[in-house]
Structures are given as C-alpha cells and as structure tokens.
Amino acid sequence: MSKIDRPAFEAQTRLPGLSYDTIRQVIRARAEEHDLPLLCDGDSEIRVHTTYGTYGFRPDRDASLVQITSGREDWLYILKESLSHTVSELAPDVGAAIRWSDAAQSAGNLPPNFQFITIEGVTRIPGGFLRVTATAEDLSQFTPEGIHFRLALPPTDLVDPQWPSLSDTGLTLWPKGAASLHRPVYTVREMDMASGHLVFDIFEHLGGRATEWARSVTPGTKVGLTGPGGGGIPEVSDLAIYTDETGLPAVARILEALPQDARIEVLFQMTDPVSLDYALPSHPGARIERRPAGDRDLADQAIADLDGAADRMVWLAAEKLIAQKLRAHFKSSGRSAKDHYIAAYWSRTADSAAEG
C-alpha cells in the first residue's frame, strides 16, 4: 500500500479570501509544470499527489480549505512550507492568515526537517574544494530523489547561536538580525544512513561565507541542516549535463548511480582552472569534456545541442543568468522544460563580478 493510501500525518488550514477557482487554477498549472498526477479535479475537490504526499483543496464559501497528508512528519512540514510560500506569493494577506490545524502541538519545536550535524573534519581535496565530513542525526530522508540540503550557519562570532522554531500558527520563525543564519545549498556527496556519516564538498571561491566557515570550523562544532530539497538523481538513459564547479558533486552522484548502459555527455565549464582536478567517477557510457569559460556559456552550448538530441534530458546547474537564459530559450521556442533540470546553483553579485 502506498503512502497515499495510508497517510500517517495530516494537517489542514483554511485559506480565507482565496476562492476555490483561483487555487484550483494554480494547482492545475503546478501539476502540469512538474508533471504531478491529479487524483481528482472537480467543482468540489482537487487533489494532487507529490513525491512527499498529497494536497487536497475544497471550496468553503468565499474561501478554500486545504488538507495535506503524508507518510512522514518532515515531508508534511515540507509540503506545508511549500504551500505557505505559494499562497504568500499569490496573496500575502492569505499567506499571513494560514493557521495549521496541528500547530499547537508543535509550537516552539525545531522544524521537523531541521537537524544538527556535528563536524568531524575538513580537508582540502584536488579541484579547489573543501571536503567536509560530519555526523548527522538522521539521513533517512536523503533518497536518490533528494540529494541536496541547506546548511544553517550562525555568525561565527555569535557566542549563543539561535535556531529556528515553529510558531503557534505553524510557521517557521527564523532568527533575525545579528543572529540570522546563512543557509547555502550543498549536495550529499557520500552518506551512510546507519551511522549518520555525511560528506559534502564546498567549492572554495572568493568572498564565500561557507568557504570562510569551512576554513576555520573545528571538529565537534554543531551546525544546522535542513532538507532534502532541490532535486535528485534523474532516472534516464540519455542525459546531457552542463555544469560549473557547483554542480560537480551532484554530477559525481549521477555518474555513480546511472546504469552502465546509460549515455551521459558532460560539459563542465570551469570558472577557475584549479577545478580541472576534481575527481569524477568513471562511467562506461560517459563522455566528459572539461573546458575553460569562453565566449559560449553553458546555456549557449545547451541550446546549440538541443536540436540534434530532442529526446535527451538536459541537466544544467550554473549561475542564475545562465539558467534563466536556457529557461527563456525553452519558453520562446515552445519547448516544455518539464522533463529537464535547469537550476540556478548560485548568483553572481556585483562583488563577485568584480572579483572575476
């Protein structure tokens, strides 16, 4: 029996002022965009199934009711957060009025997808990366569908770090001001679920707060981790990968996981020549090209390759403008990006542009 038939966790909220017709349109569009199955779609109910559980919406006079069910408490929380985010973008007043039915019992707790990790050590590995080894409390949520996480790093000079907690309406309260947490995304490079052993690789770049943290952190330090989120290992047999350094740990996971008969073309465009030496696992069907940054960026290259390989999945991890360029191309050429992975892994700021 699937999780959908026997949900262990459930939460509801009213969305005051948000009509059923409006939310139904939004859910239909999301389901279409992310290829999610609609379990029913009628005048009295729409239900959509996701990797983490099921959303159901019903009309309630001038409002809508939403019920979320999931097989795991942390997944239920991820779905609640995602809905709050969507609704707040659509109608901030409605987002602020969300009151989750299970909020009272969890008020004051850490969010269910938050855990502490204890740093064991940091070593410099070839390719300009810092390899961080840590012990996590629970890695069971990190499946091939979810290989990324966020660190939650308090300011290094803060003697008494603060951590997030759940409010009495079920929202997450993050420390603010001088106690704000830096929350960059990383990829699980290696893990052992039984022991909690976790390894991730941080690309060293100028001005990076995570880089600075990793250079000075001492064994035994506890920091926060939330996740998973941000995608996983694609289940395909024909894949074209376009990446800079930030995608290399994920590419390594993909090369390790895809079957021997898969065909994988990797174009790795370096922002720094030192990254040439980052070790990628061998795969019999993979062809890996390492190239310095040039006139043609990763989006241009992916666009140039698209016409020759319409059925191949495109996987791109790069700077935000490059990811946006490829997404815009998909849109303007009438192609759906639904079966592809196009992700902004970092954004160049005025500071980083000046640094080169």
Ligand X SMILES: Cc1cc2nc3c(=O)[nH]c(=O)nc-3n(C[C@H](O)[C@H](O)[C@H](O)COP(=O)(O)OP(=O)(O)OC[C@H]3O[C@@H](n4cnc5c(N)ncnc54)[C@H](O)[C@@H]3O)c2cc1C
Q: Could you count the other beta carbons within 10 Å of the beta carbon of residue 123?
A: 9
Residues from 159 through 218 that contact ligand X (CB under 6 A): 182, 184-187, 200-203, 205, 207-211
- Of the candidate residues 64, 271, 275, 301, the single one contacting ligand X (CB under 6 A): 271
Residues 196, 200, 205: CA angle, nearest 5 degrees: 155
Written as six digits, the tokens of 203 are 């690309």
Closer CB to ligand X, 102 or 297, in the complex: 297
- Rounded to the nearest whole angstrom, what is the least distance from the CB of residue 38 to ligand X in the complex? 27
Q: How many residues bind ligand X (CB under 6 A)?
A: 29
Q: Is 268 in the site for ligand X (CB under 6 A)?
A: no
Residue 356: Cβ-neighbour burial (10 angstroms; 0-12, 13-18, 19+): exposed
Q: Is 246 in the site for ligand X (CB under 6 A)?
A: yes
> Which positions ≥6 away from 115 have C-beta within 8 Å?
136, 137, 138, 224, 225, 226
Which 8-state DSSP code applies to residue 182?
A: B
Q: Which one, of 144, 235, 140, lies nearest residue 187 by Cα?
A: 144
- Rounded to the nearest whole angstrom, what is the least distance from the CB of residue 248 to ligand X in the complex? 7
Q: At what angle do helices 73-90 and 20-34 cross, to 10 degrees?
A: 120
- Rounded to the nearest whole angstrom, what is the least distance from the CB of residue 355 to ligand X in the complex? 7
Residues from 309 through 348 that contact ligand X (CB under 6 A): 343, 345-348
Cα(178)–Cα(161) distance, integer angstroms: 10
**Stretch 85-124: interaction string toward ligand X, x if CB under 6 A:** ----------------------------------------
- Rounded to the nearest whole angstrom, what is the least distance from the CB of residue 206 to ligand X in the complex? 7
- Rounded to the nearest whole angstrom, what is the least distance from the CB of residue 309 to ligand X in the complex? 24
Closer CB to ligand X, 156 or 167, in the complex: 156
> What is residue 298's three-state secondary structure?
helix
Residue numbers of the site for ligand X (CB under 6 A)?
148, 182, 184-187, 200-203, 205, 207-211, 230, 245-246, 249, 271, 343, 345-349, 351-352
